[in-house]
């Protein structure tokens, strides 16, 4: 069977890309101790999902989008101040 490239059907193609909530199957979630956090940004730079935002102004803060956090624990492992602890999920995402 000789099928030209112009008539070959490769399958469905997505025309709209949307993100779905991928944090719902997480077993553990990161919890930041803001009292000892220095907002160095190491967790933000190393997050594979790119869902951590570190801000130094007006006060140091770390915001993690729990809708997309997979609970991998990389942020906790790379934190130089050990201020991110992985805690067990308790039912719904918090």
Q: What's the CA gap between 72 and 48, in Å, rounded?
A: 9
How do residues 33-73 score in pLDDT, each as one tens digit? 999 999 999 999 999 999 999 998 888 899 999 999 999 99
Among 72, 62, 68, smallest CA distance to 28 is for 72
Q: What is the pLDDT of residues 2-41, one digit of tens each?
A: 555 566 666 776 666 666 787 788 999 999 999 999 999 9
- Kindly report the backbone phi and psi dihedral angles of residue 77, in degrees, each rounded to the nearest multiple of 5, phi listed first: -70, -35
| Residue 83, domain CATH | 3.30.70.20
pLDDT at 94 over 50: no
| Tens of pLDDT, residues 68-90 | 999 999 999 999 999 999 999 87
Where in the chain does DSSP place strands (E)? 28-32, 52-55, 61-64, 84-88
Report the domain count for the chain: 1
Question: Which pLDDT does position 83 carry in this prediction?
Answer: 96
Strand partners, 28: 88
For residue 80, give its domain range: 28-88
């Amino acid at each position: 069977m000789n099928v030209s490239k112009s008539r070959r059907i490769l399958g469905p193609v997505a025309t709209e890309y949307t993100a779905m909530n991928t944090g719902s199957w997480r077993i553990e979630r990161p919890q930041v101790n803001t009292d000892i956090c220095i907002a160095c940004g190491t967790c933000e730079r190393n997050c594979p999902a790119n869902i951590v935002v570190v801000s130094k102004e007006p006060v140091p803060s770390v915001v993690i989008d729990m809708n997309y956090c997979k609970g991998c624990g990389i942020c906790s492992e790379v934190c130089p101040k050990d201020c991110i602890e992985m805690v067990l999920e308790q039912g719904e995402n918090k």
